[in-house]
Amino acid sequence: MSPEFELIRRHFVRPMRGDALGPGDDCALVAPSPGCELAVTSDMLVSGTHFLPDTDPRRLGWKTLAVNLSDLAAMGATPRWVTLALSLPQVDDDWLAALSDGFFECAYIYGVDLIGGDTTRGPLTLCVTAFGEVATGKALRRSGAHDGDDIWVSGQPGRAALGLADVLGRLRLTDARRDECIAALEKPLPRVALGCALQGVASAAIDVSDGLLADLGGDDYEVLFCAPRSAHDSLRRLSESLLLPLTRIGAMCAGCAGDVSLIDAQGCELPVAHRGYDHFS
């Protein structure tokens, strides 16, 4: 066996729960369930841009997969399969073992199989493509909101940014707050159960990874969604059953796409300095 495939076998081939054809051939083979569409998404994590080079590899493995599952969740899709393309500056077996443990921990919890990928030498970059299933025609798109719909967000966006500010020494959080914010930064929980439950309830949805205001500051993986006023009570019950805060933060009104006004409790408009993270601005 070539050293490259031996490395892949050692770290990235594990027993699969489904019956897809996994790593080893030229392609993986998957069979989507009848009546479902495939939802497909890729996210790339680049060292120095998306994570600090000394990030704990186990948490990095988790996050690499979790950020992709968050996109599937925001579409209302159930995660099924993933591929992993890796570029590595060198082979460090302890680092790779920890990375793959974190990756497979997340894969196991969310029920996905790693079915293939690519492994090359180069600057540290991790790219996952995730495949999910959603009943045909039921996916939650970004475009479905109506005038008058409420705007909701899951969880507590802002914690990851606070965690990063603490890590970088820009502020000091209390110990309890710190743990929670670092976990939000390094071990985000994709809102898969929420996304599935929002099918037929939400009119539109998006995940808010690059900042809440840009998508309607930073690196939380929550779901921002719109729903008619009539869904209020069922969303309250859903929040209780998922043990996940769901907060109504605004309303849609007719206007230009992407035009967001921030209104305070007294009804005054607030200036918005940073709308979110843009890699090219």
93 interacts with ligand ADP by CB under 6 A: no
Q: Could you give the string, one character per residue 209-248, with x where binding to Mg ion holds by CB under 5 A and - elsewhere?
A: ----------------------------------------
Task: Find the part of the chain contacting ligand ADP (CB under 6 A) among 22-30, 56-64, 134-142, 238-246.
Answer: 22-30
Residue (93 or 278) nearer to ligand ADP, CB? 93
Of the pair 117, 211, the CB lying nearest ligand ADP is at: 117
Q: Which residues contact 251 (CB under 8 A, 6 or more apart)?
A: 148, 149, 150, 151
How many chain residues touch ligand ADP (CB under 6 A)? 14
Residues between 106 and 145 that touch ligand ADP (CB under 6 A): 114, 116-119
Among 92, 93, 118, 240, binds Mg ion (CB under 5 A): 118
The residue number with the shortest CB distance to ligand ADP is: 116
Comparing C-alpha atoms, which of 83, 82, 85, 75 is closest to residue 39?
75
Which structure tokens are listed for 270?
């607030």
* Beta strands 125-135; 36-46: pairing state: antiparallel
CA distance 118 to 172: 40
Q: Contact between 92 and Mg ion (CB under 5 A)?
A: no
- Which of 26, 94, 233, 264: binder of ligand ADP (CB under 6 A)? 26
* Residue 8 interacting with ligand ADP (CB under 6 A): yes
| Residue 6 found at the interface with ligand ADP (CB under 6 A) | no
Q: Which is nearer to ligand ADP, 119 or 239 (CB)?
A: 119
84 part of the interface to ligand ADP, by CB under 6 A = yes
Q: Which residues bind ligand ADP (CB under 6 A)?
A: 5, 8, 12, 23-26, 84, 86, 114, 116-119
Q: Which residues bind Mg ion (CB under 5 A)?
A: 118
